């Protein structure tokens, strides 16, 4: 948390995998534990506003009022379906392919639909995990970001990309008025800056950089001259 605590708390939503950034953080900030806290997608912004986390990896779109956010990547959207379903023969599923199918729309859906495809189920599942169970039971199909299809993978289910659905963007967000040094460190890590990045450091003045090679060469020239003066002459 921010404040006097010597740690940094990072919230993240299901499907997002912060592991590679955690490893780099541990190398660069060994004295500051990076504490991970998985939160429901709908709670990510509230977690920041309540200052229960210093930053969050969340899904766009969100209300950015008072927040700073850096979009990181965009996920492919897929349809989850039983392995024996006819649509598994398609390389990509169209909206027309789902026209007569029951498409589940869980209450924690993160896709920004104008109108979900297919026919509505009688009831909306509470969570994506519940919807996956219903797909396995043959009740309907489910359209989600690919990482959520992987997160809830089952041996009897598979998925195919869809070319018509909204895409899910993942971003790093934090309170705009709390861009601390540790926050800058995390921003640098997710943006791929190296440990030797000059961001935040005073650059070496150009004049100093030019003088260094000449200063290093002078002793070598003196040594060479001394060697010639001390060399015996042959007659």
Predicted confidence band of residue 6 (pLDDT cuts 50, 70, 90) = confident
Of 1 and 16, the one with more pLDDT: 16
Residue ranges of the alpha helices (H) in 19-165?
A: 19-28, 44-49, 128-136, 146-151
Q: With 60 as the cut, is the pLDDT of residue 155 above it?
A: yes
- Looking up tokens 């003088």, which residue turns up? 211
Of 218 and 62, the one with more pLDDT: 62
58 lies in the same domain as 92: no
96 lies in the same domain as 154: yes
70 lies in the same domain as 173: yes
Predicted confidence band of residue 181 (pLDDT cuts 50, 70, 90) = very high
Number of H helices, E strands in the chain: 6, 9
pLDDT digits (tens, 9 = 90+) for 92-129: 999 999 999 999 999 999 999 888 899 999 899 999 99
CA–CA separation, 32 and 120 (whole Å): 48
pLDDT digits (tens, 9 = 90+) for 32-56: 999 999 999 999 999 999 999 999 9
Residue ranges of the alpha helices (H) in the chain?
A: 19-28, 44-49, 128-136, 146-151, 181-190, 206-229
Running DSSP on this structure, what letter comes out for residue 202? P
133 lies in the same domain as 103: yes
129 lies in the same domain as 155: yes
Read off the CATH number of the domain in which 38 is found.
3.40.190.10
Q: Does residue 222 lie within any of the structural domains?
A: no
86 lies in the same domain as 125: yes
| Total domains present in the chain | 2
Q: With 70 as the cut, is the pLDDT of residue 235 above it?
A: no
State the Rg of the chain over Cα. 28
Q: Supply the range of the domain harboring residue 64.
A: 8-74+168-190
pLDDT digits (tens, 9 = 90+) for 76-87: 999 999 999 999
101 lies in the same domain as 61: no
């Amino acid at each position: 948390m921010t404040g006097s605590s010597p740690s940094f708390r990072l919230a993240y939503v299901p499907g997002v995998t912060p592991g590679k950034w955690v490893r780099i953080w541990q190398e660069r900030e060994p004295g500051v534990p990076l504490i991970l806290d998985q939160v429901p997608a709908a709670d990510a912004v509230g977690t920041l506003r309540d200052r229960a986390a210093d930053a969050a990896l969340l899904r766009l779109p969100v209300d950015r009022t008072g927040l700073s956010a850096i979009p990181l990547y965009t996920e492919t959207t897929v349809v989850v379906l039983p392995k024996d379903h006819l649509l598994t023969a398609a390389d990509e599923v169209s909206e027309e392919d789902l026209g007569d199918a029951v498409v589940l729309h869980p209450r924690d859906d993160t896709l920004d639909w104008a109108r979900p495809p297919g026919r509505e189920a009688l009831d909306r599942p509470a969570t994506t995990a519940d919807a996956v169970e219903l797909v396995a039971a043959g009740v309907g199909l489910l359209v989600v970001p690919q990482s959520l299809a992987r997160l809830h993978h089952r041996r009897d289910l598979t998925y195919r990309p869809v070319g018509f659905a909204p895409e899910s963007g993942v971003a790093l967000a934090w309170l705009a008025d709390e861009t601390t040094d540790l926050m800058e460190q995390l921003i640098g890590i997710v943006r791929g800056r190296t440990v030797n990045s000059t961001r935040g450091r005073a650059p070496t003045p150009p004049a100093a950089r030019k003088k260094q090679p000449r200063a290093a060469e002078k002793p070598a020239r003196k040594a060479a001259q001394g060697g010639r003066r001390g060399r015996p002459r042959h007659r």
